[in-house]
């Protein structure tokens, strides 16, 4: 079992990351603020004006520690990684399957059905906790609609475009009632629909930020098992887009990211005055809010559950790695089908 290592999030602007033998040094204004052994880290994620020395980059690549650079607001910029690992035959099979319409449709059907199932569970949990809350009838209708779409996806013997259409309809139904799940601070945290580039409200800013963090974890997991994160099935090839990572994210987003956004707002761990609207209309987080979200994300990854397929108690932060391993086993031919993660 892979050990869940720490992720170092660097948010202080002007920070310099350097290497000292087997340690990572975090320096601010020429003062060493932190010294961490490299073997305790699984990843380093830098936000904004953060620099790193070439020796440190080499150490991270050598030890398999993902080093990623994002803008101050969480948009992905670049990633440093070492030599490609894994079985070349498995990658060739991945590429062949991505070019096979029938095999692609089979995998996409599983991924989309799992995403719909987990989105539906998020709504069902909200109904269970607050059965008479505002919007409960709309949530119930969305739950029923998602169930119909899920049955349709699993029962279809059609191509990928048709399944993508169901996925889009499911996302629309889910996010149409997402605002009802905000039960505290709901006068200041309003959600009128999903907006991505840029996020146009505080809820979308939180969603986009956490999706970026999750993507980094999934990319790292895929690289660790030897799959190519860029070649997906649901998300087709596009320069600079990690298609397979986005594929695996779909089943994990409702459980890992969406629920955390709701918890942060409903438990008043973030406040609307921690967000700013820029001249372009984009909504961004201030430093204190970003740090609060990062701390909550790390704590969330330490929670545990029983994996539905492996039947083992695991930390949530290991989910991307386990699902990547299961995808690799399926592509190698060790499994008859990919066992997507379905939250129960």
Can you list the domains of the chain with their CATH numbers? Answer: 6-80 (3.100.10.20), 88-332 (1.20.120.920)
Look at residue 69 and give its three-state secondary structure.
strand
Confidence of residue 262 (pLDDT cuts 50, 70, 90): very high
Mean local confidence (pLDDT), 5-20 = 84
> How many angstroms separate the CA atoms of 207 and 283, rounded?
12
Nearest by Cα to 309 from 341, 273, 270:
341
Residue 319 makes CB contacts below 8 A (sequence gap 6+) with: 252, 256, 307, 341
More confident residue, 277 or 247: 247
Supply the pTM of this predicted model.
0.83
* Residue 341: DSSP 8-state: -
Residues of 130-164 as b/e, b for ≥16 C-beta within 10 angstroms? Answer: eeeeebeeebeebbebbeebbebbeeeeeebebbe
More confident residue, 197 or 26: 26
Task: State yes or no: pLDDT of 97 exceeds 90.
Answer: yes
pLDDT at 3: 54
- Mean pLDDT score of the chain, rounded to an integer? 87
pLDDT at 5: 61
Mean local confidence (pLDDT), 55-78 = 81
Query: CB neighbours (10 Å) of residue 289?
Result: 23
Task: State yes or no: pLDDT of 283 exceeds 90.
Answer: no
Nearest by Cα to 247 from 314, 326, 312:
326
Q: How far is C-alpha 209 from the geometric centre of its chain's CA atoms?
A: 9
Task: State yes or no: pLDDT of 216 exceeds 70.
Answer: yes
pLDDT at 132: 73
Is the C-alpha dihedral spanning 288, 47, 208, 40 positive or negative? negative
Two structure tokens written together for 242:
């990690």
Instruction: Give the DSSP H/E element, type plus range, for residue 141.
Output: helix 136-155
Confidence of residue 330 (pLDDT cuts 50, 70, 90): very high
Task: State yes or no: pLDDT of 144 exceeds 90.
Answer: yes
Is the C-alpha dihedral spanning 184, 186, 189, 191 positive or negative? positive
pLDDT at 43: 78
pLDDT at 54: 92
Look at residue 293 and give its three-state secondary structure.
helix
Mean local confidence (pLDDT), 72-77 = 70
> How many angstroms separate the CA atoms of 341 and 318, rounded?
12
> How many angstroms separate the CA atoms of 94 and 257, rounded?
27
Confidence of residue 1 (pLDDT cuts 50, 70, 90): very low
Nearest by Cα to 110 from 148, 146, 160:
160
Query: CB neighbours (10 Å) of residue 21?
Result: 7
Look at residue 45 and give its three-state secondary structure.
strand
pLDDT at 188: 82
Q: In what order do the strands lie in the sheet with 23-28?
A: 31-37, 23-28, 16-20, 51-52
pLDDT at 74: 65
């Amino acid at each position: 079992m892979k050990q869940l290592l720490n992720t170092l999030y660097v948010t202080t602007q002007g920070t310099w990351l350097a290497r000292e033998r087997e340690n990572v040094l975090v320096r601010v204004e020429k003062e060493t603020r932190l010294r961490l052994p490299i073997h305790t880290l699984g990843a380093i994620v830098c936000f904004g004006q953060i620099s790193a020395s070439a020796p440190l980059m080499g150490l991270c690549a050598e030890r398999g520690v993902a080093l990623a650079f994002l803008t101050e607001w969480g948009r992905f910029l670049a990633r440093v990684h070492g030599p490609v690992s894994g079985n070349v035959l498995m990658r060739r099979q991945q590429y062949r399957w991505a070019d096979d319409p029938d095999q692609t449709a089979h995998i996409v059907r599983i991924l989309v059905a799992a995403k719909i199932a987990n989105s539906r569970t998020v709504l069902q949990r909200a109904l269970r906790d607050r059965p008479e809350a505002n919007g409960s009838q709309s949530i119930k209708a969305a739950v029923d609609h998602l169930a119909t779409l899920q049955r349709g996806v699993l029962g279809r013997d059609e191509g990928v475009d048709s399944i993508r259409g169901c996925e889009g309809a499911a996302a629309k139904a889910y996010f149409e009632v997402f605002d009802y799940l905000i039960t505290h601070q709901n006068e200041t945290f309003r959600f009128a629909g999903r907006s991505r580039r840029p996020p146009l409200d505080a809820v979308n800013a939180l969603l986009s930020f956490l999706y970026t963090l999750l993507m980094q974890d999934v990319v790292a997991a895929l690289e660790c098992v030897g799959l190519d994160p860029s070649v997906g099935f649901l998300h087709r090839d596009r320069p600079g887009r990690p298609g397979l990572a986005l594929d695996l994210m779909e089943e994990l987003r409702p459980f890992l990211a969406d629920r955390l956004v709701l918890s942060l707002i409903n438990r008043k761990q973030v406040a609307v005055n921690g967000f700013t609207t820029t001249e372009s209309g984009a909504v961004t987080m201030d430093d204190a809010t970003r740090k609060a979200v990062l701390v909550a994300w790390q704590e969330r990854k330490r929670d545990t559950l029983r994996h539905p397929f492996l039947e083992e108690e695991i930390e949530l932060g290991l989910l991307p790695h386990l699902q990547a391993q299961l995808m690799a086993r399926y592509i190698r031919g060790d499994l008859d089908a990919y066992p997507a993660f379905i939250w129960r």
